[in-house]
Structure 1
């Protein structure tokens, strides 16, 4: 959520982190397009191949809950940057921006991907705006408290009842996908969005808000701006966060793949607790990589994707819809898990190339241009971190 600043004021590391986050988001969201059982907990272990289960286990361990969180942290970070630069206009400009995201989110959710997060971001962002006077330390403590409360709610519900609470976790069974033809795909997606949209907001909203608070605190403390933390600090973060985080994440992934509601709910609670560890470890490791010679190449590839993160997020849904739903090839439930991953990687690489080519000719992406046009009411140059 960047302010309007000259291109030279951008932080390439932040843009590259956003591009990195888009990869993880894609490899999580793709299963909702490729496998019609994903919304109801994934394929039954007895009916899936060992290869498919292994890949789903790795995706759950390495990606689920981690990269959406990273993207949310960066959203909160950018919101704080915009607030500080906008001064007395912060409330007005941010409100316009959040209104645009809410409308775009509803359109995205109803037409392309029923799991849209933009409406949730708009609502959580409104709460962040309303509490913008919180001190950074208080904001971080509030982020920790919200995360712990959500995890406790999920874990206690799993342990006490063994069943999912419909107010917190989606338990929709047999969504109306796949469908034949564009009309059928639209009707199926809109119908599913109507059923689960409130659950996405209720479950993801508090977690997004917690990440926004944490990101805004990091911005207030000057993390990443004007420079990233030194390498010794980043190494310590990686060593402290990643090993324990990934081991616990593997445990929750195993629980999630069991397929029953109680295990799924317990896994969700553990994921809420563990994902911040893994996310922080990933971010620190990625920033370490950027300090190396190969990391310069990585930044050159990923930073354009991060600059166009909104356009790329929506484009991911459009491309996956063309591959897997009635909008295009209709390959849902027809590809093995390894092929699904390869499709995801191909889509990501195509977006990386397209982002760089687009930025050679234009100052920003189409949705970024529209967002800034709505926010500022006039043409602006592409924004900062």
Structure 2
């Protein structure tokens, strides 16, 4: 995988670039908006379908049309877009670190503290699959290891991702060899979040306490790997100031992306139709290995598209949402709670899977439109405003 990431570094410049303040790069906002859309397409199933956290639907009774939708979501979305978001998080860390000032790391530490508190509140109150606390913890490790050379950061990213993939693939092979495969890959019981606001809160908070360790221990290392890769991109001048060449972008988009999607399709088949713990572990390992390739492919494809006339329209949709990414990420959870849980209409398990992607498009389009209106007034999102105040508030004077 490292050679594919190297393409981005070679496509800009191989020398280290300063990453101090420069005018906002619309391509980064568009990439962040694309990540938000993909994350929404994945997260919505935890609200719309109570069987999602339990290992998925019963394929023997689920209509084929519904299974096809789930297969497409697993192939094209699962595991890809939180990595893109993580990549951009690491990119932003490098930019903030290079912003100068008396203590350039103070705003980074304050951002991480803000995200940690917000993540816990988000996880307990709204969505048990919160990623913000994991980002804060992984970000603390990134701060602790700041200053490592670009190529070494890239090597660490590849090593972490490869190690996690090998761990799951090796465990799957071991189960098959010793004949302890098991008969079912289901992980638990369906979790209805309906029944009124109090019941929804109780179930969500309890589930958050159960899944938090696995989120931190599984997604945490992969997010950290993406942080390192993103910081390497920033340090190599990718997008700021020079985007990768069109030749590099085409090579990644049209050669690497199909390979990643092919492996992802195999992973989706295993997740939906194969039984046994070995199949579940194998699917996870394949997902970990393929997702970075797909993520880089999507990023390359978007960077190619924004250079076209149609790409301007796409950027106009994605970039405003990306600029208000924190408010929109939490806003998605609020809207999904209102639609599907006891906080609102309680439509969990009531909406057919074939209609769920349409809901995603409607929600994201509305968020983009609202974001554009907010930005047109010269303001920013409520959580972005709160974060800015928290990061830039005066520190306590010595002796006070």
Q: TM-score, normalised by structure 1?
A: 0.92
What pairs with 1:1-385 in structure 2 (closer than 5 Å)?
Answer: 9-161=23-175, 172-258=187-273, 260-377=276-393
* Structure 1 CA distance for aligned equivalents of residues 205 and 378 of structure 2: 33
Residues 26, 316 of structure 1: 8 Å contact kept: yes
Residues 136, 221 of structure 1: 8 Å contact kept: yes
* Structure 2 CA distance for aligned equivalents of residues 246 and 73 of structure 1: 19
* Structure 2 CA distance for aligned equivalents of residues 307 and 368 of structure 1: 9
* Structure 1 CA distance for aligned equivalents of residues 45 and 235 of structure 2: 36
* Structure 1 CA distance for aligned equivalents of residues 354 and 101 of structure 2: 49
* Structure 1 CA distance for aligned equivalents of residues 71 and 148 of structure 2: 39
1:296, distance to aligned residue in structure 2 (A): 1.0
Residues 21, 67 of structure 1: 8 Å contact kept: yes
Residues 194, 348 of structure 2: 8 Å contact kept: no
1:78, distance to aligned residue in structure 2 (A): 0.4
* Structure 2 CA distance for aligned equivalents of residues 224 and 272 of structure 1: 26
Residues 179, 188 of structure 1: 8 Å contact kept: no
User: Per the alignment, do residues 4 and 35 of structure 1 end up closer, same or farther by CA in structure 2, a change over 3 Å counting?
Assistant: farther
1:247, distance to aligned residue in structure 2 (A): 0.9
* Structure 2 CA distance for aligned equivalents of residues 315 and 75 of structure 1: 19
User: Per the alignment, do residues 295 and 138 of structure 1 end up closer, same or farther by CA in structure 2, a change over 3 Å counting?
Assistant: same
1:359, distance to aligned residue in structure 2 (A): 1.1
- Coordinate RMSD, CA, aligned: 1.8
Which of 228-237 and 98-107 deviates more? 228-237
Deviations 1:214-247 (A, max 9, x none): 0000000000111322222211111221111111
1:171, distance to aligned residue in structure 2 (A): 7.1
Instruction: Give 3-state SS (helix, strand or coil) of 1:369's partner.
Output: helix
Residues 320, 368 of structure 2: 8 Å contact kept: yes
1:137, distance to aligned residue in structure 2 (A): 0.3
Which of 279-288 and 40-49 deviates more? 40-49
1:363, distance to aligned residue in structure 2 (A): 2.4
Which of 85-94 and 45-54 deviates more? 85-94
Residues 194, 340 of structure 2: 8 Å contact kept: no
Residues 20, 98 of structure 2: 8 Å contact kept: no
* Structure 1 CA distance for aligned equivalents of residues 340 and 278 of structure 2: 30
Deviations 1:184-234 (A, max 9, x none): 111110010011111110111000000000000000000011132222221
Residues 116, 136 of structure 2: 8 Å contact kept: yes
Deviations 1:55-93 (A, max 9, x none): 000000000111111110000000000001135412222
Residues 317, 365 of structure 2: 8 Å contact kept: no
Q: What 5-or-longer segments of structure 1 have no aligned partner?
A: 165-169, 379-385
* Structure 1 CA distance for aligned equivalents of residues 256 and 210 of structure 2: 37
* Structure 1 CA distance for aligned equivalents of residues 376 and 210 of structure 2: 42
Residues 51, 191 of structure 2: 8 Å contact kept: no
1:372, distance to aligned residue in structure 2 (A): 1.4
* Structure 1 CA distance for aligned equivalents of residues 104 and 217 of structure 2: 27
Deviations 1:300-357 (A, max 9, x none): 2211111000000000011011111111111111111111111111111111111111
* Structure 2 CA distance for aligned equivalents of residues 186 and 160 of structure 1: 40
* Structure 2 CA distance for aligned equivalents of residues 229 and 4 of structure 1: 19
